[in-house]
């Protein structure tokens, strides 16, 4: 197969790739047989990496908009219980399509709602990712602690621990290839799972060399729940269960103590920072600078669109920058290049995606091409891109394969996917 060379981008220069891998960057000589793609007024960045999402929540936007996390969850659990496998497939198409057009080439989906234990929902999410064409980190999420036993979710929405673990084994053998599909073991949160599920999930993931993920330190309510139930703070408790190490990353990580931050840094345990969702739910502000200072890997996440409402990763870059500056009241708390690193190489570190997140020789040819004629006079194009207006990609490449062209997905009509999803979503609110 001949190599492809992208020329004319204002940043970072020419890029050559072959067999899905970047082979040269800079000023590249022509070779016979090259396929050439030429851009004017464009910037190329590494593909963005989304480290926390719930794709199914595209069906339930605009609900409980004035609630904190626990009230919001208790409003939505009964609605999510009604979602079919086809509903989730439809939501995943829209969610992944919107992510791709926001520059995302790798997405993590934390799916933990499995009504009646029908785990074909995970097959449906993988199918949607293949149609859109981006890499997916698919979690077999789970909940096994219902209200009757002191958990938050209703008893009719949880599963049995043994069924969860058996299902997780099936999902791994059916889908994990460590390239386009990577499976992650991901019990939902300290207030919706048992100690047994947490420790057995960790054993299962490590047996297969897979990563672990859960929500942690998102709200003060969660912290109080842990102290009441275990007599320990959330991160301390998870450490006792073997849930620290460089194969683990947590969603949110807002309410850590200094000791917990030092522990995460020492262990190499990562954090998915979801600034828009945290703002929408008034959860608090993640101490990103402190985490980075302690060598904690930090990536960015959209979180579910029922608590974010946007669903694109590009706007989270600017939101992360503003959140850090507001929290610290320090104008250089995070700089534009810092947040681009969070959204690319930081995310790759959280996911253990060692060949993604950088424009460098030997890395996956995963990149986003941004049309930026409005930045022609801007001296620092990356600052102009991050701080400027929200935009969607012109083109998107995953493993050297083009999945979006001229602002449109090549694998499906996103407009049609939205129309289908809207009809399905309306049915959830029909009380007849
Ligand atoms: Zn979440």
Taking all residues of the chain, what is their mean pLDDT, rounded to a whole number? 96
For residue 118, the number of C-alpha atoms closer than 13 Å in the C-beta half-sphere is: 13
Q: What's the gap in Å between 250 CA and the centre of ligand 1?
A: 10
| Cα angle for residues 32, 365, 37 (degrees, 5° grid) | 45
Residues 148 and 88 in one domain: yes
Residue 413 resides in a domain? no
Closest to 6 measured CA to CA, from 27, 104, 47, 371? 27
- Residue 54 Cα to ligand 1 midpoint, Å, equals 6
Model pLDDT for residues 356-366, shown as the tens digit of each residue: 999 999 999 99
Residue 5 alpha carbon to ligand 1 centre in Å:
38
Give residue 111 CA to ligand 1 midpoint distance, Å.
Answer: 9
- Measure the CA–CA gap between 218 and 216, rounded to whole angstroms: 5
Q: What mean pLDDT is predicted for residues 66-83? A: 95
277 C-alpha vs ligand 1 centroid, how far in Å?
9
Name the residue range of residue 390's domain.
4-46+361-407
Place of tokens 């190499």: 268
In a domain? residue 432: no
Q: How many domains does the chain have?
A: 2
Give the model confidence (pLDDT) of 215-242 as tens digits: 999 999 999 989 999 999 999 999 999 9
CA of 301 to the centre of ligand 1 (A): 9
pLDDT value for 2 = 86
CA of 259 to the centre of ligand 1 (A): 24
**Which tens digit of pLDDT belongs to each residue from 369-405?**
999 999 988 999 999 999 999 999 999 999 999 999 9
- Domain match, 41 and 88 both: no
Report helix, strand or coil for 281: coil
Q: How confident is the model at residue 184 (pLDDT cuts 50, 70, 90)?
A: very high
Residue 344 has pLDDT above 80, yes or no: yes
Residue 281, domain member (yes or no): yes
Whole-number Å distance, alpha carbon 369 to ligand 1 midpoint, is 28
For the chain, percent of residues with pLDDT exceeding 90: 95
pLDDT at 71 over 80: yes
* Residue 189 and residue 110 in one domain: yes
Q: pLDDT of 118-127, one tens digit each?
A: 999 999 999 9
- 58 plus 31 within the same structural domain: no
Residues 6+ away with beta carbon under 8 Å from 25 = 12, 13, 14, 15, 16, 359, 360, 361
CA–centroid distance, 213 to ligand 1, in Å, is 11
Q: How far is CA 77 from the centre of its chain?
A: 21
- The reply to whether 325 falls in a domain is yes
C-alpha of residue 304 to centroid of ligand 1, in Å = 6
* pLDDT reported for residue 429: 85
Distance 384 CA to ligand 1 centre (A): 30
221's tokens: 């309510």
Cα(26) to centroid of ligand 1, in Å?
A: 39
Q: Are residues 106 and 67 in the same domain?
A: yes
In the chain, what percentage of residues exceed pLDDT 70?
99
Q: How far is CA 231 from CA 162, 196, 244, 250, in A?
A: 27, 17, 19, 21
Name the pTM for this structure.
Answer: 0.97
Phi/psi at 13 (5° precision): 110, -165
Q: What is the mean pLDDT of residues 87-110?
A: 98
For residue 178, report the distance from its CA to the centre of ligand 1, in Å.
23
Do the Cβ atoms of 286 and 249 come closer than 8 Å?
no
Query: How far apart are the two ends of the chain, measured CA to CA in Å?
Result: 57
Query: 52 C-alpha vs ligand 1 centroid, how far in Å?
Result: 6
When pLDDT is cut at 50, 70 and 90, the band that residue 155 belongs to is: very high
Q: Which of 116, 134, 81, 117 is nearest to 125 (CA)?
A: 134
The dihedral through the CA atoms of 168, 251, 44, 289 has a sign that is negative
Residues 131 and 86 in one domain: yes
CA of 56 to the centre of ligand 1 (A): 11
Of 351, 379, 397, the domain-final residue: 351
Question: What CATH number is given to the structural domain containing 252?
Answer: 3.20.20.140
Give residue for tokens 């729940």.
225
Q: Report the separation in Å between the CA atom of 183 and the middle of ligand 1, taken as the mean of its atom positions.
A: 17
Residue of 163, 225, 242 lying closest to 189 (CA atoms): 225
- The encoded tokens of residue 280 equal 């929408």
- My answer on whether 266 and 365 are in the same domain is no
Are 28 and 89 members of one domain? no
Mean pLDDT, residues 146-157: 95
**Distance from CA of residue 233 to its chain's centroid?**
25
CA of 285 to the centre of ligand 1 (A): 15
Residues 221 and 152 both lie in one domain: yes
Give residues with Cβ within 8 angstroms of 289, minimum separation 6. Answer: 324, 328, 333, 334
Answer yes or no: is 426 within a domain.
no
Cα-to-centroid distance, 254 and ligand 1 (Å)? 13
Looking up tokens 């610290």, which residue turns up? Answer: 328
Do 254 and 321 fall into the same domain? yes
Same domain, 21 and 149: no
Element (H, E) at 80: helix 69-80
Token code pair at residue 282: 């008034």
39 occurs within a structural domain = yes
Interval between CA 389 and ligand 1 midpoint (Å): 26
Report how far ligand 1's centroid is from the alpha carbon of 18 (Å).
36
- The burial class, CB within 10 Å (0-12 / 13-18 / 19+), for 79 is middle
Q: Which of 60, 2, 58 is nearest to 31 (CA)?
A: 2
Dump pLDDT digits (tens) for 261-319.
999 999 999 999 999 999 999 999 999 999 999 999 999 999 999 999 999 999 999 99
Q: Which of 58, 52, 50, 127 is nearest to 418 (CA)?
A: 58
DSSP 59: G
Distance 188 CA to ligand 1 centre (A): 8
Separation of 323 CA from ligand 1 center, angstroms?
Answer: 18
Position 255 pLDDT exceeds 70: yes
Ligand 1: distance of its center to the CA of 432 in Å? Answer: 31
355 burial type by CB count under 10 A (0-12 exposed, 13-18 middle, 19+ buried): middle
Q: Is the pLDDT of residue 95 over 70?
A: yes
The alpha carbon of 256 and the centre of ligand 1 are apart by a number of angstroms equal to 17
Indicate the length of the chain as a whole number.
Answer: 432
Report CA(110)–ligand 1 centroid distance (Å): 7
Task: Tell me if 412 is assigned to some domain.
Answer: no
pLDDT band at 183 (very low <50, low <70, confident <90, very high): very high
Q: From residue 372, how far is each of 315, 336, 391, 428 by CA, in Å?
A: 16, 16, 9, 40
Domain of 388, CATH number, reads 2.30.40.10
pLDDT of residue 430: 76
Quick check: is 417 in a domain?
Answer: no
Distance 306 CA to ligand 1 centre (A): 10
Distance, CA of 107 to CA of 92 (rounded, Å): 11
Residue 431: predicted pLDDT: 66
53 Cα–ligand 1 center, Å? 6
Q: How far is the CA of 28 from the centre of ligand 1 (A)?
A: 43
Q: Containing H/E element for 226? A: helix 220-230
For residues 182 and 234, state if they share a domain.
yes
pLDDT for 343 beyond 70: yes
């Amino acid at each position: 197969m001949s190599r492809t060379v992208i020329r004319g981008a204002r940043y970072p220069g020419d890029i050559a790739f072959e067999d899905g891998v970047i082979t040269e960057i800079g000023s590249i000589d022509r070779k016979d047989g090259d396929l050439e793609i030429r851009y004017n007024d464009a910037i190329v960045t590494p593909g963005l990496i989304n480290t926390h999402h719930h794709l199914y929540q595209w069906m339930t936007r605009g609900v409980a908009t004035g609630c904190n996390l626990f009230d919001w969850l208790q409003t939505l659990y009964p609605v999510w219980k009604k979602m079919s496998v086809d509903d989730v497939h439809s939501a995943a198409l829209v969610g992944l399509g919107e992510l791709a057009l926001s520059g995302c080439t790798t997405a993590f989906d934390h799916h933990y709602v499995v009504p009646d234990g029908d785990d074909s929902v995970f097959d449906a999410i993988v199918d949607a990712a293949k149609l859109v064409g981006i890499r997916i980190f698919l979690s077999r999420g789970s909940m096994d602690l219902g209200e009757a036993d002191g958990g938050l979710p209703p008893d009719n929405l949880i599963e049995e621990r043994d069924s969860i673990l058996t299902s997780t084994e099936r999902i791994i053998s059916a889908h994990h290839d460590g390239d386009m599909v990577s499976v992650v073991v991901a019990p939902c949160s300290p207030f919706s799972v048992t100690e047994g599920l947490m420790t057995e999930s960790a054993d299962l993931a490590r047996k297969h060399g897979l990563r672990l993920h859960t929500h942690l330190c998102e709200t003060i309510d969660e912290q109080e729940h842990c102290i009441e139930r275990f007599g320990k703070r959330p991160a301390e408790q998870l450490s006792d269960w073997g849930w620290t190490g460089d194969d683990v990353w947590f969603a949110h990580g807002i309410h850590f103590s200094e000791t917990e931050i030092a522990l995460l840094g020492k262990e190499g345990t990562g954090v998915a920072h979801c600034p828009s969702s945290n703002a929408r739910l008034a959860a608090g502000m993640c101490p990103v600078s402190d985490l980075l200072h302690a060598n904690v890997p930090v990536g960015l996440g959209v979180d579910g669109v029922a608590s974010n409402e946007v669903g694109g990763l590009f706007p989270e870059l600017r939101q992360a920058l503003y959140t850090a500056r507001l929290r610290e009241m320090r104008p250089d708390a995070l700089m534009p290049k810092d947040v681009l690193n969070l959204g690319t190489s930081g995310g790759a570190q959280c996911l253990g995606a060692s060949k993604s997140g950088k424009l460098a020789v030997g890395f996956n040819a995963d990149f986003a091409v941004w049309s930026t004629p409005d930045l022609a006079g801007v001296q620092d194009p990356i600052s102009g891109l991050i701080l400027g207006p929200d935009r969607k990609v012109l083109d998107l490449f995953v493993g050297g394969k083009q999945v979006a062209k001229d602002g449109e997905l090549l694998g499906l009509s996103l407009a049609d996917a939205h129309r289908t999803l809207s009809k399905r979503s309306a049915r959830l609110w029909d009380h007849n």
